[in-house]
Structure formats: C-alpha cells, structure tokens
Structure 1
Amino acid sequence: MTTKSKLVVLIGPTAVGKTDTSIKLAKAFNGEIISGDSMQVYKYMDIGTAKIKPAEMDGIPHYLIDIKHPTEAFSAAEFQELVRKKISDITKRGKLPIIVGGTGLYIQSVLYDYQFSEAPTNDEFRKQLEEVADKEGNLLLHNQLSQIDSNSAAKIHPNNIRRVIRALEIYHCTGKTMSEWQDTQEQEPLYDTAVIGLTMERELLYERINKRVDLMMEEGLLKEVEKLYQQGVRNCQSVQAIGYKELYEYFDGKIALSEAVENLKQNSRRYAKRQLTWFRNKMDVQWFDMTTAVVPNEREKKITEIFSYIEGKLKIKSNT
C-alpha cells in the first residue's frame, strides 16, 4: 500500500486571520505555502485579493500567486493540476505542503479524486452551444444554466463561456447538474490531510471585514482598480472578484464612491457567510474558534492547540 503524502489545509472566511496563522504553521512544521485562493493567481490584483505582502512571508516560500494575467481564465481543473504538482514537489524536498485559502471547490478538487476531464462530452452539442453564444450572446446560455443548475450558474461568470457550455454539456450527457456530478466523484482523500478551519463570532468577524475594507482603501485599492479599468480589463473572470466589481461600477459612473465601498463591505460579509456554510457542509474540518485570539496571549494558546491537532492527526512533530 502506497503511503499518502502529508498535507495541511488551512481554511476559513476572509479576515479571520489565516495569513498570520499560516506563517506560524509553516515555521513550526518546516512547511511551504500554496495559495488556495482563486483570485490571488492574478497579477496586479494585490490589495483587493488581500494577497500576502513579501515582508509578511517571513522567508516562507509561497506558490500559485501572480501566475495569471487578469484577462486569463482560471478553472478548478487547472488549479487541481498545478497544486498536485506543487504538493509532490514540496514533499519530495522533505517539506510539508500547506494550502491556505478560502475557495472551497478549488481546495476540495485537490483533496479528492475529482476527474474533471472524465465527465462525458458531446462535440456536436458543444458546437451548437458555441454557435448560439456567437449569435445570441453569452447571457442566453448562462440563463439556461441558471434554470437547470443554479449552484453552478452562481459560481460561473456569464463571460466564462467555456465553463458555462461545459456545465450544460454535462447535464445534456448525464442528466445530472455539474454540482451533482461532482458529488458522485470518489470521496476518498488522496492525501493524509489535516484540515484546519478558523472561525470567529460573527459580529467580530464582520467588524474585522469592515475595517479591512477601510484599510484596503487607505492602501490604494481605488488606484489599483482604476489601473485595470483604464487598461481595458473588462468582462473577465478576474474583475468579477469582490473589491473590483463594486469599484468598476463607480468608474462606470453608476454609483457614488461611498456606495461602492459600502457594497464592497456588504458583499465581503456575505461571501464570508457563504464560505463558512460551504466548508461546514462539504468538508471534514477541525474548527478552531479565533474569537478570543485577537488578544496576543489567547492567540498563542489557539496556535498551540492547532499545532497539537496537526501533530496528532499527521503523526509529525513541530519544532517549537
């Protein structure tokens, strides 16, 4: 029997404290970090995606950051392929791979044996849909997808027509939605994994999210988004990210800046709620409540608890 590679996954909603915790984990367990965020792959989108700053990395290698231009698409299947290669590479060098992020489906696709390419295909049907998109526009197909698979439609932007057509094709071939088809995939973990979830009392989390948005604006988020806007980066997967789409509406003259910032805060809070719901329903997670961890001494206690859990789960020792 082949021994499974060891892997730590650190998940949780935005603003819960994953970045600081991940560095402590990497230092304690001789680890290297793979970003599990679907938007941090994009160059020039640093502030709005809460990308870790070089100074914060504290010498720990980070991967899957700044590997795509904002006009390029990025899928769970591509993420799966890149991350599995990186896990293998890190493990071979005697280090512990640590995935850190909040994009649930992407992370789940790495942990379990999802075979994206093995879903049935129908070239003729796909060609028909491509012709419909050319003649009638992308929105028509996206609306069709909404009617049969609202979950997938909510995750796929109308202009990511390749994925919209793929979801419709899977339904046409199998009678199952893409979400249902993924749920039938093998649920045996590919790695010896410790999945750590950070959570926090909702009111405090929402307060931290609001403060983070204010800090992003102070750090130059408006200028970052304006640069993309002026470069003509539009109708792309990247700028549908929270923090970009709201400010694009401001630059389009549709809303005032104050309203755009309030929308950004509200959308971030809603996203955090969706993240927590997804992780609780879809993944086997050991949760750690970080509500009291805003106090330094209490934070150290929580970090020690997390270290102990990883040591017990993966049968490895920290160097603390």
Structure 2
Amino acid sequence: MNKPKLVIVVGPTASGKSELAVKLAKKFNGEIISADSRQIYRGLDIGSGKVTGKWMTVPFSSHPGSPQGYPGSTLQTPAFAGDTAIPSSIHGRAKRVEGSTPRHPERAKRVEGSTPRHPERAKRVEGSISKKVFIYKSIPHYLIDEANPKLQYSAEKFQRKAHKIISDILKRGKLPILCGGTMHWIDSVAFNQQFPKVKPDLKLRAKLSKLSTTEMFKMLMKLDPERAKTIDEKNPHRLIRAIEIVKSTGKPVPLLSPPFQGGVDSPKAKTGWSTLWLGINPSMEVLEGKISKRMKSWLKRGMIDEVSSLHKNGVSWKRFESFGLEYKYTAQFLQNKITAKQMQELSVISIRQYAKRQLTWWKRNKDIHWSDSPDELITLAKKLLR
C-alpha cells in the first residue's frame, strides 16, 4: 500500500521557496504549512519575509477529495446563510431540495433549516466546515501568525501542530506542502524527532541569559561538540535550551539521525507518509543580490516602523536580539546603538551568513532534489508524485 505524500520545500532565505510552494499547491491541489520560526509570530511581517495574505473565514469539507471553497478556488462549495457550507455528504440531497417536490419533505425542511432536529449535531457540523485560514494567492497557509511575539514558540510545539495539520490535509484528499527555512523545525516534522522531556531550569536560564551568544556557544562546544556543529550559534534560545538539556540529563542533545543513516524512508523516520524533498538553490551571486534587494524593499515598506510598533506593544529589545538578523540590527538602530547605514550593512551580512548555514545544513540530506529552476522542480514533482 502506497503511503500518502508529503512535499517539503527547502532552500536558503530569499531563494523563492514561498512562491515555489504556491505553484506546487496550485498544480497538485495542495495546502501549505509554513516552517519559519519568525513567521509563526503575529506582527513579524516585513522582516520575516511573510507572504502578504489575508485571514478569511472559508468553508472546509471533511470528506476526502471533496471541494473546498477557499477564495480563488474553481471548486466553490455551496453555502447556507451565515457563511456555512453544505457538507458534501448532503450535496445530492441539496439538489433534490431545489426541485419542486422533495422526496422527503421533512428532511427538506430541516435542510432549509431554521430549526435542526439535533442542534448539537448541527453545531458540530458547522464547526467542522467553517474555519479562519490565512490565504495567499488562493492557497491556505498554516502556522503563520500563530503566536504572541513576546513568548517563545518551541520546536516541539511546532512539530505537534504540523503533524496534526498534515494529517488533516491528507484526510481531505489534498497534498500537504511543508515550506520554510527553519532547519531543525522541518527535520523534527519529517523525521519525527523525539524531544527530551527536560523541564526549564529557571536559575540556569537566568545565569546563561547574562552571557553573550559567543560565550554560550563555547560552553556548548565543551559540553556537547556534536550539537555545537549543527546549532544556530547566534540564537540564544536554542543555545540555552541545548545547554539546559545537557546539564539536566548528563547526556548529549539527541540529534536527528535519518538524513545521515538510512534516508527519509528509513524505519527510524516513523511517519505515516512518503516524503518528496525539493530544494531551490540559486547561485550564491544571484542569492546575495536578492538578499540586498529584498533588504532595501523591506526598509521602503516600513520595517523600522514595524519594529518600533512591536516594541511599543511590549516586545522587548532583548526579544528582538533573539529574533536575530534584520530584527536585531533594526532594534539596535532604534536604540541609537548603530547608524542607519550600519543597520542595513550588518543586516545584509548576517542574512548572507544565515543563508550559508542553511545550505550547509540541508546539503547533508541526500534525499533533497536541488535545482536553481522552480520549473525544473515542478516538472520533477509531476514525475515523482504519480
């Protein structure tokens, strides 16, 4: 029996992952799960490269293969008054109701429905088929604007939610597409990583938070050299968590093994689907040009105002430091620690360095099909998704 398919779109920042994912979703009747540790937060819009979609209440059907009436779809589901769709299981009955003489008048009356015979069931049906979804270019996107930026969102929580969403998309007969640049989040979903059950050590965290990321990284290198090879050394939250786990368990932080020991279909990757990995990878020259151009665009669109507004609404300067990259340097500019020119230059340099770290991470996974052409990857997907 063939496993259901999951497509994963990866690549360095500014490579065009989001648009490739949308093209794939339109071609293969898919829906997108964002795997980005900053797009997950409400208000981090411009600097995170979040797609410019809108939240809409749309009808969903729980029946595999049935139409879903999201805006722009060619398959719109008929709806009751009150913006609630007719479930596909009664589409046939609905047609008969349109006729002059229904076969079952009492049922017709209920369908037209001012007073359902079982209001509690009707409520459940309504709740299951009408949802608020982030829509971009007519495609539903999940795990965007999910969290409060003042609070930390964990990889474990992301994995749990992503698995649930993937299962839901598959149940509705659609193709789940996981797309993003947060490497360990994607791998945790693809390879079903088991997270250590270590409770937060508040005293240790307070002590570590006084150190620089460089000092914490040196500490981790001594405690767990293998984890230090793969961690984002500029991310204080991940460094603190890694050190916390080692000190609590006395053991190294568990690493993801499937990419290096048996591939994505290895028994160690205990997931219920078969994964197609697609990697978009422009040349470094093209990528660096895109990063610089995008940074200028972000500034014109109001990234400085975005950071200022978030800070006024309670997001601390220290929190912006943890977001890293352009958010870190924009926050420093707003605190008069650096000039506008330095902010732009340091942001571009840090983003380029991040892109290289992403490529280093992904290149270890031999299951990824790489190309600098979105069209080539779509053609490949046609062959491999049969």
TM-score interval w.r.t. the shorter chain?
0.7 to 0.9
Indicate how the Cα distance of structure 1 residues 168 and 237 shifts in structure 2: closer, same or farther if over 3 A, else same.
farther
Q: 1:76 to 1:239 in 2, by over 3 A?
A: same
Task: Choose the corresponding residue for 1:278, options 334, 349, 361.
Answer: 361
Q: Find the aligned partners of 1:158 and 1:18 in 2 and give their Cα distance.
A: 25
Q: 1:16 to 1:161 in 2, by over 3 A?
A: closer
Aligned to 1:144, the other structure's residue is in SS state helix
Distance 1:221 1:133, change over 3 A: closer
Summarize the alignment of residues 290-305 of structure 1 with structure 2, pairs less than 5 Å apart: 290=373, 302-303=374-375, 305=376
| Distance in 1 of aligned mates of 2:16 and 2:256 | 30
Of 271, 277, 282, the residue aligned with 1:200 is 282
Given candidates 285, 310, 315, the residue that maps to 2:381 is 310
Residue 105 of structure 2 corresponds to none
Residue 116 of structure 1: SS of its match in structure 2? Answer: coil
Report the Cα offset of residue 236 of structure 1: 2.7
Q: Distance in 1 between matches of 2:360 and 2:287?
A: 15
Q: Deviations over 1:252-307 (max 9, x none)?
A: 211101101111111111111111111001452000123xxxxxxxxxxx42x323
Aligned counterparts, 1:1-320, within 5 A: 3-54=2-53, 57-117=136-196, 130-134=202-206, 136=207, 138-139=209-210, 142=216, 144-149=219-224, 150-151=228-229, 152=231, 154=233, 156-157=235-236, 161=240, 164-170=243-249, 172=250, 174=251, 176=252, 178=253, 181-184=254-257, 187-188=268-269, 190=271, 191-234=273-316, 235-236=318-319, 239-282=322-365, 284-290=367-373, 302-303=374-375, 305-315=376-386
Structure 1 regions of 5+ residues with no counterpart? Answer: 291-301, 316-320
Q: Distance in 2 between matches of 1:237 and 1:91?
A: 36
1:184–1:306 distance in 2 versus 1, CA, 3 Å: closer
| 1:182 Cα offset (Å) | 1.4
Larger Rg: 2
Q: Aligned partners of 2:10, 2:235: CA distance in 1, in Å?
A: 22
Greater CA drift, 145-154 or 93-102: 145-154
Letter in 2 for 1:314: L
* Structure with a larger share of its residues in helix: 1
Q: TM-score, normalised by structure 1?
A: 0.81
DSSP 3-state at the match of 1:72:
coil
- Give percent identity, aligned residues only: 35
SS in 2 for 1:14: coil
Check the 8 A contact 1:138/1:159 in 2, yes or no. no
Any unmatched runs of 5+ in structure 2?
55-134, 259-266
Letter paired with 2:44: M
Q: Relative to structure 1, is the Cα distance of residues 159 and 195 closer, same or farther in structure 2, using a 3 angstrom cutoff?
A: closer
Look up the equivalent residue of 2:334 and give its one-letter code.
Answer: F
The answer on whether the counterparts of 1:145 and 1:168 sit within 8 Å (CA) in structure 2 is no
Q: CA RMSD in A?
A: 2.6
Does the CA contact (< 8 Å) of 1:91 and 1:97 recur in 2?
Answer: yes
Amino acid at match of 2:255: Q
- Alignment TM-score, normalising by the size of structure 2: 0.68
Give the number of aligned pairs.
288
